[in-house]
Structure 1
Amino acid sequence: MPSTVVHVAFGALVATALLREFDAPSLAAVCGFAALPDLDTLLGIWIHGGHRAVLHTLLLPALLGALVYWDARREDSWLRRRFGERGFYVAGVGVLALLFGGILPDLMTNGVNAFYPLQDQFYTLDGKLHLSNQRGVVQTFVEFGRDGGETVGGTTENTHYYTGFDPTRGSEPENVERVFPVVSSGLQLVVVLTSLAAVVGRFREAKR
């Protein structure tokens, strides 16, 4: 599964692509949005099945996006008073980083409780898209089944995701191994390295 490092890398890519004024505070804010869902790794220790549910719900970016939009239309805007006019833009980019960098990579890797708490059901969106000279366009993202597509998992009652903080549901033996992943595949390493290159490039450009 993608680590927090990978989520932050996705967030940094969103920031380098969309931020108009690129500086360290704005980059940190956007990357913070991308890392936010992983906080439910800790919440899951106390909330039964809370990991990949409490802060991985698609309702979170929808709610935050609505709040940013609502605040932007207020005369006495908190974002405007606190961060100036650019606050709305950075917050909006942050919400996109939350969705595309924080939640969707997990939705496509082992799944998330996509509509928690309105619906307690884990979903995984996994599939493929091919162009065939015999079958034309072949895609499995919207099909149900183990060969691909949208697959449905369990609920918070019977689903537990391994983390270094909480390897197993319930108590663990004292000698349990706790693994905290950094990158889990070559593709994830490429994402992290590409993100670093993009951030360095934007900072160099900003100094000109």
Structure 2
Amino acid sequence: MPSTLVHVAVGGLIGVALLGRWFDARTLAVVLVATTIPDLDSFTTTILPGSHRALFHTLLLPLLLVAFVVYDTRIRRYSVIKGRWGTRGVVVSWVAIAALLGGGIFPDLFTNGVNAFYPVHDAFYAVNGHAEWSSTRGFVQTFFEVRTASPAPTTSDFHYSTVVDPTPGADPEDVERIAPLASSGLELMLVIISTGVVTSRLAIERLSARTSYRVRSRADATPESSHDPEQ
């Protein structure tokens, strides 16, 4: 399953792509924190069995956040987000939600699954498979199947192993706890690319800020030319 590092890598790319002129270390940090929120349900399984990939991986979470931002910025008379952070806050809010969905939930949904509509509908779903064109069978895809051989697993009978809760029920004393970093070459490539893109964008923004500061400093230091009409 994708590690938190992979989630953060995807969230970083989303931040670089969508923050635009509001991109800086602080706004990027907000986006990356939002990306990690779904994985917080790794810590709830000891209290609520089966809640990993369900409690905060539900698609209803970003939907509720979208409803809140729309209400706060478009409907209510006084917007908390605009009042405190202005347009910058609105942009960061939308990008953070996009990162939560695209970086926090989608990597799990498109690999080994999440409880997509929990708690309204308790069932784990995964969007994975393959798509191809065959000279004899035409277009073939296995991502979406209307009928499945067995019912979808639920929180009562399915457990995702995590470093916090490796096995269902009480863990033995010698249980192995694994914190994945990159489970495949593709995931490692994604982490490397994201690190390079995010680092480069931060460096560019810092260089641009220094250049702008130097230009302003030189302009302030230049004496104004005087013109005496009587001369």
Normalising by structure 1, report the TM-score. Answer: 0.92
Higher strand content, 1 or 2: 1
Cα offsets for 1:153-180 (capped at 9, x unmatched): 3111011110111011211122211111
Cα offsets for 1:30-83 (capped at 9, x unmatched): 111111100000011211211110000010111101111111123321112332
For the residue of structure 2 that corresponds to 1:7, the secondary structure is helix
Alignment of 1:142-153 (within 5 A): 142-143=144-145, 144-145=147-148, 153=152
Q: Partners in 1 of 2:139 and 2:170 — Cα distance?
A: 49
CA contact (8 A) 1:124 1:152 kept: no
Tell whether 2:190 aligns with 1:204: no
Q: Partners in 1 of 2:61 and 2:151 — Cα distance?
A: 20
Q: Partners in 1 of 2:201 and 2:136 — Cα distance?
A: 44
Letter in 2 for 1:180: A
Alignment of 1:79-98 (within 5 A): 79-98=81-100
Q: Displacement of 1:145 after TM fit?
A: 4.7
Letter in 1 for 2:200: G
Alignment of 1:21-36 (within 5 A): 21-36=22-37
For the residue of structure 1 that corresponds to 2:100, the secondary structure is helix
Tell whether 2:129 aligns with 1:127: yes
Q: Partners in 2 of 1:82 and 1:182 — Cα distance?
A: 37
Q: Which moved more, 1:135-144 or 1:57-66?
A: 135-144
CA RMSD in angstroms comes to 1.6
Cα offsets for 1:73-117 (capped at 9, x unmatched): 233211123322211111101111111111111112221110000
For the residue of structure 1 that corresponds to 2:139, the secondary structure is strand
CA contact (8 A) 1:123 1:152 kept: no
Q: Displacement of 1:118 after TM fit?
A: 0.3
Residue ranges of structure 2 left out of the alignment (5+ in a row):
209-231
Which has the greater radius of gyration? 2
Q: Partners in 2 of 1:173 and 1:38 — Cα distance?
A: 24
Query: How many equivalent pairs are there?
Result: 204
CA contact (8 A) 1:58 1:115 kept: yes
For the residue of structure 2 that corresponds to 1:5, the secondary structure is helix
Q: Partners in 2 of 1:27 and 1:9 — Cα distance?
A: 12
For the residue of structure 1 that corresponds to 2:163, the secondary structure is coil
Q: Give the fraction of aligned pairs with identical amino acids, expressed as a percent.
A: 50
Letter in 2 for 1:49: G
Q: Corresponding residue for 1:111?
A: 113
Q: Corresponding residue for 1:78?
A: 80
CA contact (8 A) 1:107 1:125 kept: yes
